[in-house]
């Protein structure tokens, strides 16, 4: 089963991505968001993600 991750990019904008078991990125946000909650909502609205892991870099 794929997992969804929330993370901040180099501009400190929040994004989401859906990662397959083999590590391939299956889907991702096409824009950065000011808040984590906005990124989370976008992933759910796209029906790509229903739950998330939070990643920090």
Task: Indicate the pTM of the whole model.
Answer: 0.81
Three-state DSSP state, 11: coil
2-56 pLDDT, tens digit each: 889 999 999 999 999 999 999 999 999 999 999 999 999 998 887 877 777 766 5
Strand partners, 25: 19
d(CA 56, CA 51): 17
Write the burial class of residue 37 (CB in 10 Å: 0-12 exposed, 13-18 middle, 19+ buried): exposed
- Name the strand (E) or helix (H) holding 25: strand 25-28
Q: Enumerate domains of the chain plus CATH numbers.
A: 3-54 (3.30.160.160)
In this prediction, residue 49 carries a pLDDT of 77
């Amino acid at each position: 089963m794929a997992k969804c991750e929330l993370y901040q990019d180099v501009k400190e904008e929040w994004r989401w991505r859906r990662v397959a078991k083999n590590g391939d990125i299956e889907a991702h946000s096409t824009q950065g968001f000011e808040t984590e909650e906005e990124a989370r909502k976008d992933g759910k609205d796209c029906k790509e993600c229903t739950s998330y892991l939070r990643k920090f870099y």
